[in-house]
């Protein structure tokens, strides 16, 4: 190896060392790691919340999950009488998926009655497919169309800790959020809360578990975030998401049944 090649090689090692150190010591990156650790410690997780809602109905139940990935993470642990899974298999090849379709394809077929083996209404629909606002909002509207009157639409990833978790591009992992992606689901949840005839709570756990219930009357809220900007969400999470603890949510649900 020539002396020039050796010098170039050592320079490259130094450059990579500096890049790695400045990445690790960057305050945004360190904040991102701390935020992830804090979120992962919160309880309950989505599975427990969904099972609580199913149990609260106190009858045979039909459960639909949109976006399943590895069923061992959630789907297999759900306690419903009958369960249905929808996933085009983009991230995980699961041969046991009931409907290997996108959610749009699934609901179109359900609407045209071209789908055998699915019920006409569900007790709980869990939306956890494509995490972009326009898709998530369509999933909400479609799910409400096929929800029993006293059922629940549950949404994952409604409370991203920072703008990096709420990025639009899943594939960019060199941010403080690393590979974790809440996407822009929060915008769809907020839009539904503002525009649709639903009651909405977001449990402050497991990246924000949104719960929508069909409501007899439309409550109107001031639109505090007309441009759906992340910094406004960050300042007004409680009001914009109706962010509550699981205990607070359970108390509200119980008070309805009293």
Ligand X SMILES: C[S@@+](CC[C@H](N)C(=O)[O-])C[C@H]1O[C@@H](n2cnc3c(N)ncnc32)[C@H](O)[C@@H]1O
Q: How far is the CB of 209 from ligand X (least distance, A)?
A: 10
If DSSP codes are grouped into helix, strand and coil, which group holds residue 180?
coil
Shortest separation between residue 54's beta carbon and ligand X, angstroms? 15
x/- string (CB under 6 A) for ligand X, residues 162-201?
A: ----------------------------------------
Q: How far is the CB of 182 from ligand X (least distance, A)?
A: 10
Residues 115 to 134 in contact with ligand X, rule: CB under 6 A: 128-130
User: Does residue 143 belong to the site contacting ligand X (CB under 6 A)?
Assistant: no
> Of 209, 202, 229, 165, nearest to 31 (Cα)?
165
Out of 66, 198, 211, 241, point to the residue binding ligand X (CB under 6 A): 66
**And the tokens for 44?**
């309950």
Q: What is the dihedral of CA 123, 109, 214, 149, to 10 degrees?
A: -50
Write each residue from 80 to 99 as x if it is in contact with ligand X (CB under 6 A), else as -, in one continuous string.
Answer: ------xxxxxxx-------
Q: What is d(CA 34, CA 28) in angstroms, rounded to the nearest whole number? A: 10
For residue 223, give the nearest of 189, 195, 188, 204 by alpha carbon: 195
Closest distance between ligand X and the C-beta of residue 257, in Å?
27
In the numeric block, the tokens 């909002």 are attached to 137
Stretch that binds ligand X, among 18-26, 36-44, 64-72, 192-200 (CB under 6 A): 64-72
Give the single-character DSSP code of 90: S
DSSP category for residue 154: E
Residues that bind ligand X (CB under 6 A): 46, 65-69, 73-74, 86-92, 102-103, 128-130, 135
């Amino acid at each position: 190896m020539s002396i020039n090649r050796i010098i170039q090689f050592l320079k490259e090692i130094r450059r990579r060392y500096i890049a790695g150190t400045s990445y690790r010591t960057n305050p945004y990156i360190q904040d991102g790691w701390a935020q992830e650790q804090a979120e992962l410690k919160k309880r309950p997780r989505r599975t427990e919340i969904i099972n609580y809602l199913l149990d609260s109905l106190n009858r045979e139940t039909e459960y639909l999950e949109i976006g399943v990935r590895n069923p061992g993470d959630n789907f297999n642990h759900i306690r419903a009488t009958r369960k249905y899974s929808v996933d085009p298999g983009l991230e995980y090849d699961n041969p046991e998926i009931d409907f290997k379709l996108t959610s749009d394809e699934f609901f179109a077929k359900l609407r045209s009655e071209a789908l055998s083996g699915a019920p006409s209404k569900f007790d709980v629909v869990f939306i956890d497919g494509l995490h972009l606002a326009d898709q998530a909002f369509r999933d909400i509207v479609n799910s409400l169309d096929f929800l029993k009157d006293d059922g629940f639409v549950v949404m994952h990833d409604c409370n991203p800790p920072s703008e990096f978790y709420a990025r639009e591009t899943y594939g960019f992992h060199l941010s403080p959020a690393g590979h974790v992606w809440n996407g822009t689901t929060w915008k769809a949840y907020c839009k539904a809360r503002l525009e649709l005839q639903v009651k909405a709570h977001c449990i402050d756990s497991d990246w924000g578990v949104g719960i929508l219930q069909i409501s007899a009357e439309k409550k109107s809220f001031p639109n505090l975030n007309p441009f759906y900007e992340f910094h406004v969400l960050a300042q007004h999470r409680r009001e914009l998401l109706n962010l509550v603890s699981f205990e607070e949510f359970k108390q509200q649900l119980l008070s309805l049944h009293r």
